[in-house]
Amino acid sequence: METAYNYKEVMSRPERLAPGHRMCAGCGGTVAVRAVLRALHPEDRAVIGNATGCLEVSTFMYPYTAYEDSYIHNAFENAGATMSGVETAYRVLRKKGKIGENYKFITFGGDGGTYDIGFQSLSGAMERGHDMVYVCYDNGAYMNTGTQRSSATPQFADTTTTPAGEVSSGKVQVRKDLTAVMAEHHIPYAAQTTFTGNFRDLHTKAEKAIYTPGAAFLNVMSPCPRGWGYEPAELMQICRLAVESCYWPLYEVVDGKWILSYEPKNKLPVEDFLRSQKRFKHLFTPGGEELIAQFQAEVDKRWEELKKKCGA
């Protein structure tokens, strides 16, 4: 049964990510962090981990951070391992009576530090079952270092390492489905979400992830205006198109049960989502129709597979 929320109270909670950071206007990562941290209950304290990336360099300028909670900056490859150690130390100290406060443990990482460089560390933390949440703000490339492709980058996207031009149509490979990979670790909770409507989906999933005992993973599609090529004000519209076209379906896996959070009444063609971003502009030139059809076929295949898993 879904919890009944007083959203006026939720949205009025004190910010745990302070203003004054250097994230770009229209950045999905900032929105993701603020929304996830707002799901923390006011009486609880938190330790925030952060893999190297856009979020880290823009919210942490030693010796200052934009976080109201305790904060740890990690290298790309070890954010999962570090938070595992912090959570373990907390349990030991609490058992000894040296800590009385309730702490929650949340790590943020971009797709480069999550899908790729930090995957081994993340996988280990999830397999061991530490009581922590790993949140990936998925912006689909290594944005902080110049928009290089990652395994989260969608097929045919134009990046600096997969440039679209006369001899290339962008990235060759399809994107990794990391949420499904994390679900196969048999953790208590894994979910995929983004910014839609009144943030209900993101908020409820963030709260479930934080307050479900054991390991949890949350994958939040977080568009990047510089890497994707859109105006800052278009952030929410792009997220809506991603969901309505089923490029980024909303679902959760609770104790092994796959649950579809939303099914569009009128599924949009993925072309609508692609057209909204400059990184796909080469697909809308003569000859690009076949590539769009190929992209659509992949989206349709994954959508049908997901519905089957969810029993829909």
Predicted confidence pLDDT, tens digits, the chain (312 residues): 456 667 777 777 889 999 889 999 999 999 999 999 999 999 999 999 999 999 999 999 888 899 999 999 999 999 999 999 999 999 999 999 999 999 999 999 999 999 999 999 999 999 999 999 999 999 999 999 999 999 999 999 999 999 999 999 999 999 999 999 999 999 999 999 999 877 999 999 999 999 999 999 999 999 999 999 999 999 999 999 999 999 999 999 999 999 999 999 999 999 999 999 999 999 999 999 999 999 999 999 999 999 999 997
pLDDT given at position 3: 61
The structure tokens listed for 111 are 């797709």
Residue type, 9: E
CA distances from 155 to 159, 243, 269, 277 (A): 11, 17, 16, 14
**Measuring CA to CA, how many Å separate 4 from each of 40, 87, 101, 109?**
16, 30, 26, 30
The token pair at 84 is 């595992």
pLDDT of residue 9: 79
pLDDT in the model for residue 6: 75
- What tokens appear for 293 in the block? 């059809």
- Note the pLDDT of residue 1: 47
Q: What is the C-alpha separation between 179 and 69, in angstroms, rounded?
A: 27
User: CA torsion angle for 182, 245, 239, 76 (degrees, to 10)?
Assistant: 30
> For the segment 74-109, what is each residue's pLDDT rounded down to a tens digit?
999 999 999 999 999 999 999 999 999 999 999 999
As a whole number of angstroms, the distance between CA 3 and CA 275 comes to 37
In angstroms, rounded to a whole number, what is the distance separating the alpha carbons of residues 212 and 205?
10
pLDDT in tens, 238-270: 999 999 999 999 999 999 999 999 999 999 999
Closest Cα partner for 197 from 244, 238, 241, 240? 240
| 308 phi-psi bin (left φ>0, alpha ψ -120 to 50, beta other) | alpha
pTM equals: 0.96
pLDDT for res 241: 98
Q: Which domains does the chain have, with CATH numbers?
A: 7-309 (3.40.50.970)
SS3 readout for 139-186: CCCECCCCCECCCCCCCCCCCCCCCECCCCECCCCCCCCHHHHHHCCC
What is the C-alpha to C-alpha distance for residues 24 and 192, in angstroms, rounded to an integer?
23
Helix (H) or strand (E) holding 305: helix 289-309
Residues 19, 20, 26, 29: what is their CA dihedral angle, to the nearest 10 degrees?
-70
Backbone conformation region of residue 101, classed left if phi is above 0, alpha if psi is from -120 to 50, else beta? beta
Q: In 3D, which of 49, 200, 13 has the Cα closest to residue 130?
A: 49
Nearest to 190 by CA among 152, 219, 214: 219
What pLDDT was estimated at residue 2? 54
Nearest to 279 by CA among 192, 151, 149: 149
